[in-house]
Structure 1
């Protein structure tokens, strides 16, 4: 009988998909995976201008093949298009980073149903739709990381929608880890605490602190001084490095794990 080629297995970082790729942790992770030798990148974000700027940067720096998806992660039609395009061009994915998310604040007594649904739909429904596509496209031996939050495990007043949605996303990652294990697919979560990203911009308390202290960095330092024993928040590049570790062969025996990176916030 003729030899039959085995099904292709994932290599790190290989063909990568990153959501929320245009800024913050997503952009830092895209840069890190490109630097680590990704053969192609599927970058997803609602901010088309920033997404294409990042694409141009990565193409010039690394000559990498790119598939830029200017879409909402809640669009089933959009994900159908991603699945078709990835299958056509590369046959599958090797690494996936599910990062896109939103935040809001409000006590349970004061939170409107509309505000609740706005956060939960993106952070949970969007994670589900992304992960569903990922589990269909990941090659045997591939890996995914869900970006959750320390708020998934530590309760704070005013974080009902955000914390509940991130806790649900963490459980979704664990279920995916069990379902993917038979094919050697690993799914882990990372739970950052405070991270110096643009998500803080427009938050009234943060904007007021920027005005008071004179700069965003001073505002971050002030908040971290109160919130974390280490006295500082993480930089996006730091989180990107830990995501890269979870995707890499160095984490070969890790699946269903929750890597907490919070400066001691939960102590």
Structure 2
């Protein structure tokens, strides 16, 4: 169902985004992704299993110039767009522990970047499409230390659920995926600690979230999967 689909994955060089790019490649989709660092981008592209091609560039979703460069690549490399999967996001410290420039950059990346990419993607979806936003369970948990991060993800949720009502008549689907703890670079613990948390069923593999993303993307035209919450069995809620 995804063979030949033209898909943009934001933040596809690490974590959930990288796992999603590789799943799309296995399914034969044509994927374009980006990240801020060339080594991670090169590694993600080299590791793509195929048969679907994967293209990439370095760009910063928090800037207007970065978003413009990404969608110029969408036009030249993909020749259009069928699906957007927004994954690019940063973790954050508590607001009172962050410099103003730092917390504003997180908001620009996690929320404004999603809006900017959605707007540019919809302009290329004349015959319909699918917008999928990777959010988080953080707005529900409201754990101490996640004030900035939770605020951005709550914004993504409200934006997506409202946008869905605005674009449904244009044959554009909107989905939100809300993962719990996932063993990615965003976690402030060692690789060994992540392995142990996964073994204890306290964290998920990024690939498990990518599988949920592909499930959402492959429903029938009449089926709009609005939101999907996916957690490890023993998710910590504080």
Give 1:53 deviation, angstroms.
1.9
- 1:36-62 per-residue CA deviation (whole Å, 9 max, x = no partner) reads 120x2111111211112221232xx32
Q: Is the 8 A contact 1:104 1:119 kept in 2?
A: yes
2:114 to 127, 140, 143: 127
Q: Which has the greater radius of gyration?
A: 1
CA shift for structure 1 position 195: 0.4
- How far did residue 124 of structure 1 move? 0.8
Q: Does 1:47 align with 2:37?
A: yes
Count of matched residue pairs: 235
Counterparts in 2 of 1:111-260, with a 5 A limit? 111-200=98-187, 203=188, 206-207=189-190, 215-217=192-194, 219-221=196-198, 231-250=201-220, 252-255=222-225, 257-260=226-229
Note the alpha carbon deviations across 1:105-162, whole angstroms, 9 max, x for none.
Answer: 22x5555434432321211111112212221223533112101000022211111100
Tell me, in whole angstroms, the C-alpha distance in 2 between the residues paired with 1:217 and 1:78: 31
Q: By how many angstroms is 1:88 displaced?
A: 4.0
- Of residues 29-38 and 177-186 in structure 1, the stretch that sits farther from structure 2 once superposed is 177-186
Distance, in Å, in 2 between the alignment partners of 1:149 and 1:49 is 27
In the alignment, what sits opposite 1:262? 231
Deviations 1:222-258 (A, max 9, x none): xx96xxxxx4311111100000111113474225x22
Q: Which runs of 5+ in 2 are unaligned?
A: none
SS at match of 2:131: strand
Q: TM-score, normalised by structure 1?
A: 0.78
Aligned mate of 1:57, from 43, 47, 52:
47
**In structure 2, distance between residues paired with 1:248 and 1:139:** 20
Query: Residues 81 and 111 of structure 1: is their aligned pair in 2 closer, same or farther, counting only changes over 3 Å?
Result: closer
SS of 1:69's equivalent in the other structure is strand
TM-score, scaled relative to structure 2: 0.87
Q: Indicate if the aligned counterparts of 2:7 and 2:82 stay in contact, CA closer than 8 A.
A: yes
**In structure 1, distance between residues paired with 2:205 and 2:161:** 26
Aligned counterpart, 1:30: 21
Pairwise CA distance, 1:21? 0.6
Q: Which residue of 2 aligns with 1:3?
A: none
Q: Structure 2 CA distance, aligned partners of 1:153 and 1:161?
A: 14
Q: Secondary structure at the match of 2:168?
A: helix
Unmatched 5+ stretches in structure 1: 1-10, 226-230
| Equivalent-residue separation in structure 1 for 2:73 and 2:231 (angstroms) | 37
